Structure formats: C-alpha cells, structure tokens
Amino acid sequence: MRLTDLTKKHKNKPVSLRTAPAFRTIALALTASLLGACGSVPDTYHSLRPEISITPTRQGTPTALRYTELPPYYDSEYLVWYDEHGRITRDKSQHWTYPFSENLRDVLRQAIAAETGNSRLYTYPLAENNRPEVLLDLQIRELIADLPHQRFLISAQWQVSHAGSDAAPTNHEYQQQLPLAKTDPDSLVAATAQAVKQLASAIARSL
C-alpha cells in the first residue's frame, strides 16, 4: 500500500480521547481549574485612614512615637476576632494592608497631632537631625472584636518620657469597650479605626 493510500484512509477519522490520554488529562485539569476559580473567595485588603478635619499648625514640643507593640494576633495580617469560645478566629480572605503596624503608627501620629495641634509629632525611625524632647512608648494589649458579645475591645498602656531628663516616665492606661452593631468585615475595620481614634485622644490628653 502506498503512502498516499494510508493518508486518504485516515484523513477524516476523528481522534478519540481513548487513543489520546494526554488530551483527556488536559481536559480534566482545565475543568478542575475552572471549578476552583468559581468557588474561591477573592481577597480583600483593608487599611486604617485618619479622620482629620484640621491640619495642625502649632510648632509645639517635638514629640515622637518611639515603640509600638501590638498583640501577637496581628502578626498574621488577617482580620481577626473572638469567637463564642473565646478563641482567635482569622478570615484569610480579609487582609490588613501590610504592614499593619506601620499603618497604625502613622494613623496614631496624625490623630495625636490633630488632637494636640502640634505639627512636630513624629514616628521612629527619625531623621538624623531630628531630636524629639518627648518620647512615647506604647503597648496595645487588645484591639479586637468580640463577636458573641457584640463589642469591640481596646486596652493599651503607654509611657511618656522626656529626653535628657532624670525624671521617671509617667505611666498611663486606657481600656474601653465599644458597641459593635454589625459584624461584617467593613464594620470590623470601622470599629478598629474608631477604637484607634479614641486611643489617640487619650494619649493626646496625657501630653
């Protein structure tokens, strides 16, 4: 039989998946990929934004927020809350804009500056020629929603010290429970922002 005869014989014969296992594997992989894409939850990213209506213009005492310590559950950068068993729950589709600690420090700085009217309020690390006279060291112990009790918890302590002074730092504490009407992610972010704003007001009163 000639080559041309073989070509004519098989020219219109369909290709079967039974004779082409590679095609079947690719088809199954594509189907699984499409199903996975349809069932996945898109990631959402949140950030705190300062509510500032007045820009500080007073040249007050140079003040710097030096240390800021957050609860360990903020290491993951996910939105977290307490469940009905008092356990930390994370939503891995809801993220804080990384890094949350820097976002928080910047919002605190702007909010404290707005409360005091002092335009000379900074965060570490400082420029080489910046020499603040007042230093703030902050530890936030709780900053989280308690969903079963529909409340948002904030607890913090901080020290105010003066550079070059032998006087002992002054210690301050703040603790508050804010009502939580809704428990969707946007409401949790709004409650976090409100708690941080109230903390900034308390810190400003201590300066």
Region 178-194 average pLDDT = 96
Domain that holds residue 132: 44-205
Question: Are 113 and 89 in a shared domain?
Answer: yes
User: Is the CB of residue 194 less than 8 Å from the CB of residue 145?
Assistant: no
* 137 in the same domain as 54: yes
Report the number of distinct structural domains present in the chain.
Answer: 2
CATH of the domain at 150: 3.40.50.10610
Q: Which of helix, strand or coil describes residue 195?
A: helix
In 3-state terms, what secondary structure has residue 70? coil
Residues 119 and 184 reside in one and the same domain: yes
Tens digits of residue pLDDT in 37-93: 455 678 999 999 887 666 777 889 999 999 999 999 999 899 999 999 999 999 999
- The answer to whether residues 134 and 174 belong to one domain is yes
Q: Give the per-residue pLDDT at 58.
A: 83
pLDDT computed for residue 55 by the predictor: 73
Residues 161 and 147 in one domain: yes
Q: How far is residue 204's CA from residue 183's CA, in Å, rounded to a whole number?
A: 30
Judge if 155 and 55 occupy the same domain.
yes
Q: Are 10 and 87 found together in one domain?
A: no
Are 112 and 196 in the same domain? yes
Residue 60 CA to residue 97 CA, distance in Å, equals: 31
Judged by average pLDDT, the poorest of 7-21, 99-113, 133-147, 190-204 is: 7-21
What is the rounded distance in angstroms from the CA atom of residue 78 to the CA atom of residue 69? 17
Same domain, 174 and 107: yes
Taking residues 97-118, report their average pLDDT: 93
Q: Are residues 126 and 176 in the same domain?
A: yes
**16 and 76 share one domain:** no
User: Do 168 and 153 fall into the same domain?
Assistant: yes
Tell me the C-alpha distance between 114 and 193, whole Å.
15
